[in-house]
Every structure is written in C-alpha cells, then in structure tokens.
Amino acid sequence: MAQRRQAGRELRHATPRSLNAGWRAPVNRADPVQRLIDTGRDRIAELLPIRYHRMRQSPFAFLRGAAAVMAADLAPIAVSGLVVQGCGDAHLANFGACAAPGGGATFDINDFDETLPAPFEWDLKRLATSFAVDARSRGMADKTCRNLARTSVMGYRVQMAALMRLDPLQVWNSRIDAVEALSGIEDLRARDREVRRLQVATDAARAGFPKLLERHQGTWRIRANPPLVLPLGGRDDATHEQAARAALQSYRASLPVERRVLLERYRLTDLAFKVVGIGSVGTFCAVALYTTADDDTLLLQLKEAGPSALAPYTRPSAFANEGQRVVVGQRILQAAPDPFLGWTHDAGDDRHCYIRQLKDPRLAMQITELSDGALSHYAMLCGQTLARGHARSGDAAMISGYMGSSGAFDSAISEFAMRYADQTERDWRLFLEAIKSGRIEASSP
C-alpha cells in the first residue's frame, strides 16, 4: 500500500494538483446549444421540447441535461492518469436513497447512463460543480458555494484514504446506510426533517405506486397520464409495443438463472411509455407491469441506452451493447444493485436497452426540497459515496497518494467548480436565448 501511495504522489510531477483548478473556455469551443441539438438527433423529436423546458428552469437544471457539454470541456484538461469505472454524470441529484434487498435503504449513486472507465477527476469535478451551481441557484453567496464544492471533494479525499487501508473484499462489501448517513447533519431541525422525509418515502415505497396503477376489469393496469405516461398497444403504437415485448423477452437471457426463476413467478400484464428525468427525456423509456396470480405487482423500467457522453473522449467501451455497458457499470459502482438489472439481446434491433426495477422518486432524496442546512453534510456524503464507488474498480492507494492529506487538491477542484459554474450560467443564458429566438422549442407537457 505504501509503495502504491508513493507512486500516486509521484504522478504530481507530471500533473501538479494545481492544474485541476484551471478552466478557461477555448476560443474554438463548440457552441453548447448546437451540441445539445446534435445529441438530440437520435431522440424522440416530439419529446425534446419537454426536455428543453425542464432544462430552462435554472442553471442547475441545465447542467443536469448537459452532460455531453461538460464531457467535451473536461476532455482536454490534464489528468493524473488514474482511471476508475466512472459514473459519467455524477451531479448531486444522481445520489440518494436506494431500496436495499431485504428492506431498508442505502445511500448511493443512482444513475449510470453515462458510465465508462474514465479519469477519476472527471466525476469529481462534475460533482463539485453541481454543488456550486445548485447553491447559486438557491441564492447563496459565492463563499458558501465554494465551501460546498470543497466539502464534496474533502469527503471524497478523506474517504478514499480510509478505503485504501481495507482489503478489496471489504471495500466491495461496504455500504452506507441511509438513516445513519443523515444522523451526521449538525443542524438538529434539518436532521429531524430529513429523517422524517426518508421514513415517509421508505414507507411509501413499500406501498408500491398507487398513482401509477389502477384497477381495470378486475386487474391492475398502468394509469395513463398523457404525454408523460402513455399505454403501449393498439394500432398507432403496435410497433413500439412489439419491440418492447421482444426486448423484455430477450432481457431474460442476461439474468442469472436464479433471477430468471424469480421473474417467472410473474406474468407481463401491461406496458406503457413513460417520460423520465431531464437528461433522459427523448430516449425510449417504458414501464412493464408484471403481476402474479395473487395480484402482487412488479414494475420494471425498460430504458434506451445510447453511447455514453464520455465515449468520444476516453477508451472505447468493452461492450458493443450499450445496455450491457450501463448494467456492468452499475454493478461495479453501486453497493447493492437491483436484482432485476439486465439488458436486452435483440440482434435485429439497433436500439440497446437496459432493464431495472422502476425507481421510486419518493425514496430518492428530492434535492430540490433538501434544506439549506443539510447541504454541507450532503456534499460530504456524496463525496464519500463517490469514493466508495471509485475504489471498487480503481487503485485507492494511488488515488489517495495523488490527492494527498492536505487541502491542496480540495482547493484546486473547488476553484474549477466555481469557474465552471460561471461557464454553466453563460451557457444557460445562451440556451434561453436560443429558446426565445425559436432556434429550439421548449414547452411544458
């Protein structure tokens, strides 16, 4: 361990930690609006106005939908050379409580659409930037924004130093209990509020999805909510329904045998198209309702997986199937992956998808509702969680050695975060101008 940590320190000669502070838009930087338009060409065109409407709400909402823009900006910046399985979109809203097998909830990363092996700094810079941008959107002073960004990096650095002392199996099996995670909030009122919210969300998650489901002729069906939830079936979308059914059938082959046995206890009852998130709007996403003879329900989400936003700038994926890329990345990064996680195998269809249990948004911590008093603790927690995810695939000792035990690395990344927050606000204003001029259309559903 000591030798690997020293090897990490020596990487500073080629890439000083201070270089992580730098950001200045190059003269030939691509138009961020055009980059968004280009990334939307393979999406469902009639849903793009919904995506752009959601992105226009604030600079933070814009950052969430602009992973491709930030990936292009990070690519030319010097890095240490230490590669991990990257999340690829590690902003603060992609962390939260996740249902754990056997009950309870863990705190973890919960979105993996952009996952690929990548320099560890890329995820960390996106995380720190997200805290700076979100705090500004809340009207906080720049000093507070910088401190939040710095806290997320410090959480990562300190946790990585602890993880390097564990053996790989201990790192792999480590978990962050969601309730225990909230107990560290210093503001007692904020702590009580967040613990109550988590308990309410956990109880609601156990109760299922009453607003999404309804009884129809004695059986459960997915409730329509146009244009966000549209049942698949009938003459107009028979092709989509057929494709979804074929994907669900082929997906079984990606599951371990024991999970296939479990899935076979259910039968497919209903299918619906469902718009989700911000960055995912415009991709093909469907919900599959499975039921048992005793009326128990299981909701699986089928989600299209395109190339990662990181793909043009890092090593090629080891997987030709983008759904498999997402699934493998999640299994590496997440402490307790969904037991129904798998991908589709349809040789006659170039649409790659992955499948998981439908995430309950009530269980994931709603960042827009997170109190200001809890943000600092949340920043530390996200940094710790990202470190745990990275340590499962990367060399914790070398990463820790490169970062060091002082706050020099924290300061450099937080400086980048503030500079890139400025860039995000400039890009967001350009985006608003593009909507105003009619270059792109934004409309609410």
pLDDT in tens, 33-81: 999 999 888 777 778 888 899 999 999 999 999 999 999 999 999 999 9
- Tell me the two tokens of residue 423: 């860039």
Give the Cα separation of 115 and 96 in Å (integer): 17
234 pLDDT above the threshold of 50: no
Q: Which helix (H) or strand (E) holds 411?
A: helix 408-437
pLDDT in tens, 276-307: 665 566 577 889 999 998 888 889 999 888 89
Contacts of 236 (CB under 8 A, 6+ apart): none
Nearest CA among 370, 399, 436 for reference residue 4: 399
Convert the pLDDT of each residue in 84-95 to its tens digit: 999 999 999 999
**pTM score of the predicted model:** 0.91
Angle between helices 375-391 and 322-333 (to 10 degrees): 110
Q: Which residue has the higher pLDDT, 236 or 173?
A: 173
Mean pLDDT computed over every residue of the chain = 88
Residue tagged 């909507």 (tokens): 435
What is the pLDDT, as a whole number, of residue 121? Answer: 98
**Burial (0-12, 13-18, 19+ Cβ within 10 Å), 217:** exposed
